[in-house]
Structure formats: structure tokens, C-alpha cells
Amino acid sequence: MVPVRHESASNLRADGVTLSSPVTALHGVGAEYAKLLAKLGIRSCNDFLFHFPRKYLDRHTITPVSEVMPGDSVNIVADVVKLRTVRTTRGRYQLTTAELRDKSGSISAIWFNQPYREKQLRNKRHVAFFGRIRRGRDGMQLQSPEFEFDLNKSFHAGRIVPVYRSTGRLSQKWLRIWIGQVVNNFADMIPEHLPDKVLVDGKLVEINRALKTIHFPDSDRELRKAVQRLSFDELFLLQLGVLTRRREWRESMPGLPVMVKRDEIRSFVTALEFRLTGDQKTVVAEILNDLGNSMAMNRLLQGDVGSGKTVVAACASLAVASAGFQVAIMVPTQLLAEQHFNTLCQLFHGYDVRLEMITGALTSVKRREAWKRVSDGEVQVVVGTHALISKEAKFDSLNLVVVDEQHRFGVQQRARLRGNGYNPHMLVMTATPIPRTMTLTMYGDLDVSRLTEMPEGRQTVKTGLVSSDRRSKAYAFVCDQVNQGRQAFIVFPVIEESENQQVRAAEDEFARLQRDEFSSFSTRMGLLHGRLSSAQKSEVMKAFRDGGIKILVSTSVVEVGVDIPNATVMMIEGAERFGLAQLHQFRGRVGRGSHQSYCLLMSDSEDADGNERLLAMTKISDGFELAEQDLIIRGPGEILGQKQSGIPELRVASLTDVDTLVLARRQAIALFKFDPDLCLPENEGIKNRLRDFWHKLSELS
């Protein structure tokens, strides 16, 4: 590793500055800059060390002036032969121009309102300029290029140059200087926390070398090694934290075992109007076994759209209720709460199970009365929204918590619901298929079950991409389906049209569609969006369920849980604005009946035909396969949302890096078995890093 080139700066250690010193201890960081740096999470010198580049610029290669082309980002080394500053005709701008000449030719450079450049550059030779080439009135020119006088003493040129996440008036140049000072003076002082065996097994470079290289790499090969080491660190610490969380769940408090009446569950399943799939039977057996243990269940149930998670939750709820305990089922929306409540009422008809629905839509009086029945033990199953974790929530004997659409709730919210019982069993469910690598990291503390088989009668939804010139045919197709007695969804990404969002909006298009394309159905169209009250939403959905509404125009509020078997068309406007997981959720709203169903991806975008997400939707119907594709295209933070995930932010690592993830998980499991509390002296460094890595995450269950 070639030593990092030094910028002219004082020796920080001689000045008594340490890694824990505030950023203002660095030369040039005043109060205003400190405020801007704090927005980036940089408050100490140590924070600078771990503020990693978001990308790099290749300023190794020097381009002869004669070879530059418009649009190129180039590095040239030239002499400054002419300089002048003039004011524009109207006097609003000062233009400083320079003629730059190397052995191959000359090119002009221009700076706006920077007259001091004339003094800086006068009579300078062998100056390195870097910027983008644009075509000007008198030929090609460099507009506002950066420059360096000595490539051998620069963080900004003649090398692979880091580009950092910034804010406000924080320039890349100052960020490089400050980070360069910290790297030069402190990187070697960071103690190695990984055991030698782990470094050797993983072929990993030392932490000091990795930190120097990721900021100021000398080659792509060295940079890859640094990224691999720092990625391993993040994934390794992530796995250790997840393993610790899993152990805490298992050992913090014992659970209350449920005496499962298996004959009753078998009778319940036999009486259903449909047969359970093989996956459903397997998962029900897993859950019933968990419920019978004194260790509280902590299970994640992943099921593709329409795979039958609700009936699995019903089997678990019946087992717990029949044993004399209570069940809480928490869902994200009023609509979904009503649907679950109605479904469970039908499924439990004839059984001694009393249900209650508690949501924010209830009046305060009715809500108090409902909680009184729950706290008195008159109710066995409570279905609700966030109301279930309100201060007035009180259960008599809660022993099973079911959280549906878990990604809509933070980890802390789930923990609060759990706290309403004596360490109740926990079943979290999602219809958003999660890639296996994300399951290993984000949900490594849970036992995981998957429903991949579709119930009998579920058809593959035919999916097509519809360009703007075929829009009229798409509308005609919807009309044809409705004339055949079917129903249709039309989903829009926003409620109202705005200057900043030039997309088709639900309210505006609803009025237009009633007037034009669907005028014959104008009185049988409905509008649904998040600004409607709960009562209004329920009224619209009831009319759609009952067939009074034939075409429902909606925003993404229909993404989760709405079940309309007679709906055969899902038309998604502005489809390119949605992620794969969300598009797949929309598609899952149709295809639930006996008729062939269709998903029309509408886009006015000129490059829609090349959109990776939209093309994947037309080719792939399996939600788990789509989830893997979505992870590659968008990354984990966009799929479930970092704040909701319950894990620290990954600065370097990617969950698509399966090899490093598997290596980190294997090493973490081995260490955890040997020293779970990290008490051994040789693991003190790991223990400290683990604490620092997780300390910013406030939502821990």
C-alpha cells in the first residue's frame, strides 16, 4: 500500500487532537461548517474516518487537449498562457477566461464570478485541470474546472479521487482535506478487532489498510479489497447483533405453553371450503409445535400474495383461544382490519371464540367499552390497527400476537404490543416476499416459514406493458371486462396533479374517465385514497365488494389486503414510479376468482420499454423471484425501508453480496457459540465495535 499523499497541514497529534475530538479541532472547521457536518452525522474526528465515499472519480488518466470531446469529463495538464476577466454586457456577471496549452494544442477555460482565479493562475505551468468539456461559441471549453498545482501532494487529482455525501455549502475539496488529515494521522491508530484466524480464513486485509484505501485508493484492486473487508465487518457485526437479539428473546422470559387441542384444529381444517396446500399444512404444524413450547414463539411467515396466510393465522388463533388465552392481530389499515375481522368471524362461526375489532374509527366511548370486554376476558381474539398499542390497551391473558404486513410497523411498535402480555408468542406475517439474503440479516432472530404454493383455483395473472399509443385499446379492454360482469382497479401514484409531479392523478383522472372513456359506467365508478375518512373508505370498499362499484380508481391504499374475487383487471398508471414489490402487491389484488385476470402496466415514459422493473413484471409471476430482482435493482433500503427494518444502516456492505454475507454469518455463528457474551480478552475489540455499530438504532425488540 503506497502511503496516502499528505496535504499541507499541521500535525494533528502534536496539537493534542484525538479521534474523539470535535470536528472544530481540525483546521478550517468553524461553527457553521460544524453544523453542516452534523447533518451528515459527522461530529468527531472519528466520524470523518467512517464517512465513506459514495463514488470515485478516475483522475489518474491525463488526456491530451487535442483528444477531448464535448461531454467528456477530462483531466488535462497544461500551461496557462492567457488570462483576462471581463464584465458581461448587462453587468450581471464577471467572466474569467484562460487559454490552456499543452504539447498537443490549446483549449479555453471559463469561470463565472470568480475574478480571483486570474491572480491564482497567472503564469502557472503544469497545472492539472479537471472538468467537463462543453461546446462554446469559439469551440470547446472547460467550464468552471477544478485545478491543482502539484499532483504529488493532492487529494483531488492525479489519483482515484473520492466523492462524499455532502450538504449545503460543504465542498468536496474541504471534505477531502479534512478526511485526509484524519486518515493520515489516525488510521494507523485504529486497533484490529478481528482475530487473525478470521482475517486468514476470509482473506481480509487489516482494518488500518482498509480505512486508508477506501478513502484514497491507489488502484481498483486495492479498493475492492478494502470494500470487501469493511463489508465483512458490517455484515459480521450485523449477524452478531441479530444472534444476540435472538438469544435475548429466548432467554429474557419463558413463554406460556399452549395445550393445543389438535383434534379441534383438524376438525376446523376439514370443515373449510377449500383444502390447505402442502405449505400451509407444514407451517401450521410448525406453529402449533412452537405454541406448545415454554419458549415463546418468534416466527416470521412469508407468503406471496394470495398464498393463504390468513387461514394459517386463524389455525394458530383458534389453538390459543381454545386453550383459554387471548390473541391480538395487528394490521396497518382500517380496511385490512375490517377484512380480517369479517374473515375470522366466518371461519370461527360455530366455535366458542368471541372476536372484537378495535381501531381508531371507534368513538372514545365504544373504544373504552371494547377494551373493558377485552380486559375482563370476555373476548378471545382482538383485531385492530395501531389502537392495539395505545395507552388504554389492556389484555387479560394475551398469549399470541400476530402482526400482519410487518414492514408497516417499526420494531419498537411490535415490541410494545408484545409487552401487553406475559412474553406472548409472536407471529409476524408479510405478503411482501423477502429475498433470502435479507431474511438472513433482517430477520435472523426469527424462525422463518414460507408459503410458496398457491391455493387451488389461483391463476397466473397475465401482465403486459402498455405504451401511451395503446392507451385507448387498454381502456376498451377494461370496458369489455366490465360488460362481461367483471370489475377493475385503476391505480394512480398521486391524488392530485401538481406542477412538480407530472403524472396522472387519481382525482383529476377519475373525473376525466367518468366523462370520457368510461362514461357508460360513470355512476358505477368509485374513488379511493388516503385523504378519505375511515368511514368513507369503508363505504367505498363495501360498494366495490358488493358489486355496486364496477371500476375503482385508487391510490396505493389498495396495495395491501383488499380481496375482491370478481375483479379481473389491475390497471397501474405511472407504473415506472413504483418498485417491484409494490407492483406485485397491486397485481395480487386480482386473480382471486375463477376468471382469468390481467395486470396492465401503463406508462407514458419514453424509456418504459427498457425499464428493468416493468420488464421483470411481465416475465416473472413468482413473488420471491421478483424480490431477488428488486434487491439487485434497488437495494435493501428501498424495499422495506431502513427505519422500519430494525437493523443498522449499512454504509459499505450490500445484501446482494451473498459470498461475503455467508462468510460473515458463518464466522459470527462460530464466535457466538464459543463466546456469546464476548467476555474473552481477545474479543473485547469486537464487543466495542458491536456496541458502536448498533448504538444508533433506537428500535430494538
- The CATH number for 337's domain is 3.40.50.300
| Confidence at 608, pLDDT banded by 50, 70, 90 | low
What number of other Cβ atoms are within 10 A of residue 576's Cβ? 19
The amino acid sitting at 175 is L
Between the two ends of the chain, the Cα-to-Cα distance in Å is 43
Instruction: Give the 3-state secondary structure of residue 96.
Output: strand
The number of domains in the chain is: 5
- Confidence check: pLDDT of 457 > 60: yes
Asked if residue 443 belongs to a domain, the reply is no
| Measured CA angle at 568 (ends 567, 571), to 5 deg | 100
Asked if residue 299 belongs to a domain, the reply is no
For residues 503 and 558, membership in a common domain is answered with yes
For residues 592 and 483, membership in a common domain is answered with yes
Angle between helices 309-322 and 278-291 (to 10 degrees): 30
| Measured CA angle at 10 (ends 175, 157), to 5 deg | 40
Question: What is residue 657's predicted lDDT score, i.e. its pLDDT?
Answer: 79
Asked if residue 17 belongs to a domain, the reply is yes
Question: What is residue 149's predicted lDDT score, i.e. its pLDDT?
Answer: 76
What is the spatial distance between Cα 250 and Cα 252, in angstroms, rounded to a whole number? 6
| Cell numbers describing residue 26 | 481540525
The number of CA neighbours under 13 Å toward the Cβ of 35 is 4
Give the pairing type, strands 326-330 and 398-404.
parallel
For residues 582 and 488, membership in a common domain is answered with yes
| Cell numbers describing residue 404 | 400482519
- Confidence check: pLDDT of 406 > 60: no
For residues 482 and 419, membership in a common domain is answered with no
The number of CA neighbours under 13 Å toward the Cβ of 372 is 6
Task: Please tell me what DSSP assigns to residue 54.
Answer: S
Q: What is the mean pLDDT of residues 51-64?
A: 84
For residues 342 and 313, membership in a common domain is answered with yes
- Confidence check: pLDDT of 99 > 80: yes
Asked if residue 300 belongs to a domain, the reply is no
For residues 505 and 555, membership in a common domain is answered with yes
Put simply, whether the predicted model's pTM sits higher than 0.85 gets the answer no
Least confident of 280-289, 321-330, 627-636: 627-636
Asked if residue 302 belongs to a domain, the reply is no
Question: What is residue 560's predicted lDDT score, i.e. its pLDDT?
Answer: 57
| Confidence at 206, pLDDT banded by 50, 70, 90 | very high
Length of the chain: 701
- Confidence check: pLDDT of 373 > 90: yes
What is the spatial distance between Cα 619 and Cα 159, in angstroms, rounded to a whole number? 43
| Cell numbers describing residue 648 | 443498522
Asked if residue 449 belongs to a domain, the reply is no
For residues 647 and 552, membership in a common domain is answered with no
Asked if residue 456 belongs to a domain, the reply is no
Only one residue has cell 482565479, namely 117
- Confidence check: pLDDT of 320 > 90: yes
Least confident of 234-248, 381-395, 657-671, 684-698: 684-698
Question: What is residue 549's predicted lDDT score, i.e. its pLDDT?
Answer: 93
For residues 210 and 359, membership in a common domain is answered with no
For residues 151 and 216, membership in a common domain is answered with no
Nearest to 490 by CA among 473, 469, 505, 470: 505
Question: What is residue 646's predicted lDDT score, i.e. its pLDDT?
Answer: 56
What is the spatial distance between Cα 667 and Cα 645, in angstroms, rounded to a whole number? 23
Which CATH number is 69's domain given? 2.40.50.140
- Confidence check: pLDDT of 158 > 70: no
What is the spatial distance between Cα 245 and Cα 446, in angstroms, rounded to a whole number? 9
Question: What is residue 427's predicted lDDT score, i.e. its pLDDT?
Answer: 92
For residues 494 and 563, membership in a common domain is answered with yes
- Confidence check: pLDDT of 4 > 70: no
Over 555-591, what HEC string results? Answer: CHHHCCCCCCCCEEEEEECCHHHCCHHHHHHHHCCCC
For residues 169 and 122, membership in a common domain is answered with no
Instruction: Give the 3-state secondary structure of residue 559.
Output: coil
Task: Print the domain residue range for 110.
Answer: 61-158
Asked if residue 436 belongs to a domain, the reply is no
For residues 474 and 593, membership in a common domain is answered with yes
